[in-house]
Amino acid sequence: MATIKIKQIGSPIRRPASQKKILVGLGLGKMNRVVEREDTAEVRGAIAKLPHMVKVVD
């Protein structure tokens, strides 16, 4: 399966609880942390909800 690397670039401080839950679901929570996830529609949807907090790195 294809994988993508996701890097957190925004802080979860003063963000809605729903956005914090999405970060935890992706395996993030601290600044500049990078995780590798399977490239699925669910993961892409979570990334699309947080364009100001995460980015896809190569």
Please write the tens of the pLDDT for every residue from 3-52. 999 999 999 999 999 999 999 999 999 999 999 999 999 999 999 999 99
How distant, in Å, are the alpha carbons of 13, 22, 29, 57, 58 from that of 44? Answer: 23, 12, 18, 13, 15
What local confidence, expressed as pLDDT, does residue 51 receive?
97
Half-sphere exposure of 26 (CA within 13 A, CB side): 34
The Cα–Cα gap between 15 and 11 comes to: 8
How distant, in Å, are the alpha carbons of 14, 27, 53, 56 from that of 43? Answer: 23, 11, 14, 11
- In sequence order, what E strands does 10-53 have? 34-38
CATH number of the 3-57 domain: 3.30.1390.20
